[in-house]
Structure 1
């Protein structure tokens, strides 16, 4: 299941852990479409779970914010999914259906194809999904990718050689981790390196609900591993890459300034979730969707009816989680006080750019936002896909 690699260094073994979690259908519809009630019983399309005002040592952002679309960076993208900003400028974008990685010049919008990732088998919500840069990218120029193969979902790494001709710049994929369950739906796919230098991956339960509660399965989990694909030191379950479980379909991962992990998660008929992830935490699926009175399960810090969100990527900027909504076709702002929402979530860009897939910090008060106007079954919808630059507060 896990491709064995060299032992991790003592420096990695000493790396500190800290917090996150989050999943509704990736496609344009979900079975129930929302309409449930909040934990308090009142009918509502969104429920933040914000605590009453109280003293805290952490600075909380304003309850209300703003979003300004600065410009369209690039358009005409084909089924874009993952986004990785390069340290020397440029944005790498993965195409779910084409299985290619494209470099976008963030100043001119010019697109250059690096190459096609061999082994990608796109279907439904599967294909070439999340991408991330190696923590040592400056010296090793390695790109990590999560993709659906003919047999599973897996994580590979590839050398990016920009001195080669366009279309030939991507090296052969080296599989570091395999055996993640695949399905026509719920393949997860977001990967990111945490502040501890470890690689985190959000997986889906591939439509087989029982996998989420099975700690021996890789489906419906957040995984934590070394850059070589080994279970990370100090993981909550011995010799296992499982970091948290009880997830339906995790597609968003982000850390705050205190290295606490947050994750977005698709619900089914009632509640999408934003979670603060605890090592070893059980997030309830399929026994709980949204908040629960069962003490065995971690409750989300915010939840939405599935019509209003269907969340994919998230990003953290200055005390705020920004969350991209697919079916909801909007960008959500969730201000934080520690690991709680400090005010009700606020929606922006509702219906303006269609389905929103990926959001990434762009430095300062800026965000990159990627649209996803191809539905979960690979059929193009109106309009093309683009990258936007936003100014957020």
Structure 2
């Protein structure tokens, strides 16, 4: 899910369709991404807008990739130009493809690729699996990356699901654990977050960076995140809540809308501050309700 003006773009993993959602709730298909291979957790995944371009993360036969599409037309009739490859051939798997992409305050593109069920790859700096990547919008490698020859920005990840940046530039990322602890991490350039040797806290003695907050995997599954007024908002799948975490104290959190909308996949913020949350109840793991799946605009209580 990504926002351009008052329009919300949504990706459908299995159908490979990109939808345009107007402010009045009307939905239309903008385009269908070619050569997308759906296999369980692979398919059409993350979106990010940058000016008049839409960046699209998807799974192809050659691996995970990010493509750039020029957006043409007007709200209600947007269309996409031909794709331009930005990065391709990233490891892909049936599970743990990450899939989140976002532009940071430095105007660089950040990409989450999961471990693709190849756990040791997360600790291999030459593999792009189990990493957060950082590249320029044209796909080139920034010279100020931890390794100026590599897109790898941080490693030791299992399956990062969302990023957001605080006003001071601090980067937060949500991450699925396996069967013990889900995580909220502060991402540092070149940082190693311990997977598969550590799940949750306890890795500092071995040089790994501990999360700033963890939750039991059966109560969370933290997915997309956004920051509004110094509060980190985290959409939770199994937890079925929108969690609010203060940037000033990321070790604490408050549950909002618990169980009200079911599984929550993503959260984003419009230019006027409207908070949009995407439900995820029709993927075989939730309990669909009338109208699911949907985008809900929510009011977030101020602390």
TM-score, normalised relative to structure 2:
0.93
SS at match of 1:143: strand
- In the TM superposition, residue 217 of structure 1 has moved relative to its aligned partner by 0.5
Higher share in strand: 2
Instruction: Give the RMSD, CA atoms, in angstroms.
Output: 1.8
State the match for 2:43 in structure 1.
127
SS of equivalent residue, structure 1 residue 322: strand
Structure with higher RCO (Cα < 8 A, 6+ apart): 1
Cα distance in 2 between the residues matched to 1:164 and 1:301:
40
Decide whether the 8 Å contact of 1:179 with 1:218 is kept in 2. Answer: no
* Bigger mean CA offset, 173-182 vs 282-291: 173-182
The one of 99, 103, 110 equivalent to 1:193 is: 103
Q: CA shift at 1:164, angstroms? A: 11
* Cα distance between partner residues in 2 of 1:355 and 1:200: 25
Is 1:382 paired with 2:299? no
Cα distance 1:219–1:100, how it changes in 2: closer, same or farther (>3 A)?
Answer: same
- Post-superposition Cα deviations, 1:173-222, rounded to whole Å, max 9, x if no partner, equal 21110121111110000000111110001110001101110111001111
CA spacing shift, 1:380–1:300, aligned 2, 3 Å: closer
Alignment partners' CA distance in 1, 2:76 and 2:227? 35
Larger radius of gyration: 1
Counterparts of 1:229-378 in structure 2, within 5 Å, are 229-295=139-205, 296-337=207-248, 340-341=249-250, 344-363=252-271, 366-375=274-283
Contact kept in structure 1, 2:262 and 2:286, CA below 8 Å = no
Higher mean C-alpha displacement, 215-224 vs 378-387: 378-387
Q: Using the TM superposition, give the Cα deviation of residue 348 of structure 1 relative to its aligned residue in structure 2, in angstroms.
A: 1.6
- Contact in 2 for aligned 1:203/1:251 (Cα 8 Å): no
Structure 1's unaligned 5+ residue stretches are 1-82
Q: Write the deviation string for residues 145-180 of structure 1: whole angstroms up to 9, x where unpaired.
A: 0001123100001122226996x8222221110121
User: Does the 8 Å contact 2:22/2:75 carry over to 1?
Assistant: no
Moved segments of 4+, more than 3 Å: 163-166, 363-366, 378-381
Would the alpha carbon gap of residues 270 and 155 (structure 1) be closer, same or farther in structure 2, given more than 3 Å must change?
Answer: same
Q: Give the Å deviation of 1:311.
A: 1.1
Q: CA deviation at 1:366?
A: 3.2
Question: Which residue in the other structure is 1:183 paired with?
Answer: 93
Residues 103 and 344 of structure 1: is their aligned pair in 2 closer, same or farther, counting only changes over 3 Å? Answer: same
Any idea what SS the aligned residue of 1:222 has?
strand
Alignment match of 2:22 (pick from 87, 105, 108):
105
User: For this pair of structures, how many residues does the alignment match?
Assistant: 298
Cα distance in 1 for residues equivalent to 2:203 and 2:107? 35
Instruction: Give the direction of change, closer, same or farther, for the CA distance of 1:114–1:222 in structure 2 (3 Å limit).
Output: same
SS at match of 2:120: helix
- Distance apart, 1:382 and its partner CA: 2.1
Alignment of structure 1 residues 66-85 onto 2, 5 Å: 83-85=1-3
Offset from partner CA, 1:294-327 (integer Å, 9 cap, x none)? 3310010110000111111000111111101111
Please list the CA deviations of residues 50-98 of structure 1 after superposition, one character each: whole Å capped at 9, or x if unmatched.
xxxxxxxxxxxxxxxxxxxxxxxxxxxxxxxxx11112x2111111111
